């Protein structure tokens, strides 16, 4: 049982950046708002985050469809994907 608890707390190297993310310290409400709600506060927090680029790279690489990632909304990431084709 102790081994199981230890394994559950190990962070994969691919996700280690998430531990430094400011969003991890503020909660998901800002970053996954209700449809039509403002994402201004999430973008403000992202603007101060030291790992914003890694977050955006993750979102684009994993086709994250919801929420604010790397300072960009769903719509902005979609536009970025379309522009890069």
- Known binding-site residue numbers for [4Fe-4S] cluster: 23, 46, 49, 55
Other CB atoms within 10 Å distance of the CB of residue 69: 24
Cα 76 from Cα 24, distance rounded (Å): 22
Binding-site residue set: 23, 46, 49, 55
The sign one gets for the Cα dihedral 62, 67, 69, 75 is: positive
């Amino acid at each position: 049982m102790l081994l199981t608890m230890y394994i559950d707390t190990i962070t994969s190297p691919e996700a280690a950046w998430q531990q430094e993310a400011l969003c991890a310290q503020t909660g998901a409400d800002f970053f996954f708002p209700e449809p039509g709600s403002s994402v201004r506060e999430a973008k403000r927090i992202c603007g101060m985050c030291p790992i914003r680029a890694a977050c955006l790279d993750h979102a684009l690489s994993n086709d994250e469809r919801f929420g604010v990632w790397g300072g960009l909304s769903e719509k902005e990431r979609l536009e970025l994907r379309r522009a890069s084709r």
